Amino acid sequence: EQVRYVSMKKFTNDNYLASVNWQDAKDYCQWIGQQSGLPVDLPTEAQWEYAARSRGQFLNYSSDDGKFGDFIDPSSKAYIPLNMRKPNPLGLYDMIGNGWDWTNDWYDENYYSVSPEKNPQGPQSGTTKVTRGSAGTNFMDNQNIERYAMPPVLTEIMSTGRGFRCAVQSPTPLQPVTK
Tally the domains of the chain: 1
pLDDT score for 3: 38
pLDDT score for 71: 46
Q: Would residue 55 count as lying in a domain? A: yes
CATH of the domain at 121: 3.90.1580.10
Which residues, other chains included, contact 103 with Cβ-Cβ below 8 Å and sequence gap of 6+?
42, 43, 44, 45, 47, 48, 122, 129, 130, 131, 132
Q: Would residue 130 count as lying in a domain? A: yes
Quote the CA–CA distance of 167 and 43 in Å, as a whole number.
Answer: 5
List, in sequence order, every residue forming a beta bridge with 25; answer none if it has no partner: none
Q: Would residue 5 count as lying in a domain? A: no
The tens place of each residue's pLDDT in the chain, 179 residues long, gives 443 434 445 545 555 666 788 999 999 999 999 999 999 999 999 999 888 877 666 655 555 555 555 445 555 555 566 667 777 788 888 777 667 899 999 999 999 899 999 989 999 999 999 998 876 655 554 455 678 898 888 766 556 678 899 999 998 888 877 77
Q: Would residue 178 count as lying in a domain? A: no
User: Is the CB of residue 79 less than 8 Å from the CB of residue 97?
Assistant: no
Beta strands 162-164 and 167-168: pairing type? unpaired
Q: Would residue 173 count as lying in a domain? A: no
Residue 145: count of CB within 10 angstroms of its CB: 20
Q: Would residue 99 count as lying in a domain? A: yes
Quote the CA–CA distance of 88 and 98 in Å, as a whole number.
Answer: 14
pLDDT score for 138: 52
The model's pTM is: 0.77
Q: Would residue 145 count as lying in a domain? A: yes
* pLDDT tens for each residue of 12-52: 555 566 678 899 999 999 999 999 999 999 999 999 988 88
pLDDT score for 1: 42
pLDDT score for 27: 95
Range of the domain at 146: 22-168
Buried-state track 5-23, b at ≥16 Cβ within 10 A, e below 16? eeebeebbeeebbebbbbe
Report how far apart, in Å, the C-alpha atoms of 88 and of each of 38, 94, 100, 162 are. 25, 8, 17, 20
pLDDT score for 70: 47
pLDDT score for 6: 40
Q: Would residue 52 count as lying in a domain? A: yes
